[in-house]
Amino acid sequence: MLYITRNEKQYGPYDETTVLTFVNEGRILQMDKAIDADTNQVATVGDFLKKWGVKPHVVNEGNLISQLKTIGSELVIPKQAFKDKVWLSDKRLMSLALAGMLPLTGSLLGSGYLMFYFVSLYFSVVWALFFYYLFRTKQVALKTTLSVFFSTQICMFLVWWLLGLNSLNPFYLWVDKPFPLNLFGFIFGVGVTEETVKLIPLLIIYKYAKEPMLPQTVVFYGLISGIAFGVFEGVDYQMNVNSQLNYGDSFLFNIARLTSLPFFHAVWCGIAGYFISFAKLYPKYRLSLYFLTIAVPATLHGLYDTFAGGIGSFLIAYPLAFASVVLLMTYLNDSTKYQTKLRN
């Protein structure tokens, strides 16, 4: 005698003849789990049938045409469901359609800046949803998230394109010099400037915050600001630098500008957000914490840029990028301990 279990429901017990009959009728599947009522042995129905030395044979219910008639056209074309517009209320369907089809609409924008920006925006939304899943807190608000995202790009437009303030940093002139001078150029020029611009939206939202924000909340907004920066920078590179490369390199770096590189920018700004949160929570130590807000991500950023390219990418740059992620997660895991220390 066997008990049959399917979808956590138990049926039976059935004797050998009944089990074989039900299998032949398709009412019990050979892959269903079965329990011997006498020995409590657990196996599949198919295993017990083999043990009993019997071979099931599921008979077709008529020929192909008769089966299709029995199934009916509604299974293939659910006319009534379409008529009732049930699909409009299915959030999973709409999400799936948007995720799969939205990039294609970028082709309607031509092949210029808007198209590159649209595709970059799509990937940034994917990253934002990923960060929201991992780092959201009760303090995270959609309105603030959107404000951070677009204000970062506005800051980039003002600082880089309109005013050209980034060129005022003399260390930018050092990035083309031989090592180790280029290291100072990438840290104090590229790193400090870019990480400072990404911080502006975080400082603004903290200025108007109605309550102290958790470190993880500010880290989340930092990640969003970093992604926004990556979108802006990625479009600029795809329109200019990457377009001058051969097809293979251009394809690779365009993908990198949509995925990994914005992610690195996000992590570095997330680290900055971590230290900003501490500076706001414990103002007695704000001098050192604001210093760390710029110094830590700018150093990681500059070191990565210095060694990115060639064999240095695999030996130094990529391990540094991974270390940045480890560092951010370690900061968050230890935040309670350091808050206790600074509070006392």
Task: Give a yes or no: residue 75 inside a domain.
Answer: no
Q: Let me know: does 233 contact 279? Beta carbons within 8 Å.
A: no
Helices and strands: H and E segment counts in the chain: 16, 4
Task: Give a yes or no: residue 281 inside a domain.
Answer: yes
| Other residues' Cβ atoms within 10 Å of the Cβ of residue 155 | 21
pLDDT tier at 161 (50, 70, 90 boundaries)? Answer: confident
DSSP string, 108-130: GGTTSHHHHHHHHHHHHHHHHHH
Same domain, 49 and 160: no
| Predicted local confidence at residue 251, as pLDDT | 76
Task: Give a yes or no: residue 65 inside a domain.
Answer: no
**Dihedral pair phi/psi, residue 148, rounded to 5°:** -65, -45
Structural domain boundaries, residue 97: 91-343
Same domain, 178 and 241: yes
- Cα–Cα dist 162/177, whole Å: 27
Domain count, the chain: 2
Same domain, 327 and 221: yes
Q: CA distances (Å), 120 to each of 73, 218, 231, 278, in order?
A: 42, 23, 6, 32
- Cα–Cα dist 51/56, whole Å: 13
Write down the pTM of the prediction.
Answer: 0.76
Tokens coding 75: 């299974």
Same domain, 11 and 115: no
pLDDT in tens, 83-141: 777 777 777 777 777 767 666 666 666 666 777 777 788 888 888 888 988 888 999 98
pLDDT tier at 340 (50, 70, 90 boundaries)? Answer: confident
Same domain, 53 and 172: no
Amino acid making up residue 169: N
Same domain, 310 and 200: yes
